[in-house]
Amino acid sequence: MKDVAGKKVAILVADNFEQIELTSPRKALDQAGVVTMIVSPADGQVQGVNHDEKADTFKVDVPLDQADASNFDALLIPGGVMSPDTLRMKPRAVKLVQDFYKSGKPIFAICHGPWLLAEAGIARGADLTSYPSLKTDLINAGAHWEDKEVVTDDGVVTSRSPKDLEAFNGKILEELAEGIHQRQAA
């Protein structure tokens, strides 16, 4: 695998994201020398959860309205129900996801994170997975949904839940090393 040290990954979350779906991939990325930055509409701090219990808060590095896909090499979208549901209602968040996709940069979404892929029009024709309750939503958005721990479709990596984090983390490092994906950039 090519070296990913020095690459930059935006982590897009709103309040009440599933904390382990941010911290586990972030740890894997940090250990590989990747710079991770939290992008959020939240002001200053963003709230994590462990299922339905409040967990830690995290510093917002880049306010959503200042985020630009050109400043990053990839995008990570943690799940939890509330964060992706909030983000898919924010045109600026949807546009940011679209900008990453159009530029061919890898996108990593886990659990409920693929809701943003559907909202951004990226699900149509894509092979995806997600938390099982999103299956019908993604199929209705035109995706080919698979019940697998990790599914990759030309730089878009999706996983079902925290139990799949080991496979998800390995695949995101692999896709980050691959870099720009030409089908998306076309």
User: How many Cβ atoms are within 10 Å of 133's Cβ, its own excluded?
Assistant: 10
What letter does residue 115 receive in the DSSP assignment? H
CA dihedral 109, 115, 118, 124 (to 10 degrees): 60
Q: For this structure, is 144 an active site residue?
A: no
Q: How far is CA 166 from CA 21, 24, 115, 150, in A?
A: 11, 8, 22, 10
Which of the residues 51, 111, 144, 181 is marked catalytic? 111
Known catalytic membership, residue 112: yes
d(CA 32, CA 49): 25
Q: Which residues contact 151 (CB under 8 A, 6 or more apart)?
A: 127, 128, 129, 157, 158, 159
The one catalytic residue among 51, 112, 144, 181: 112
Residues annotated as catalytic (active site), given as ranges: 111-112
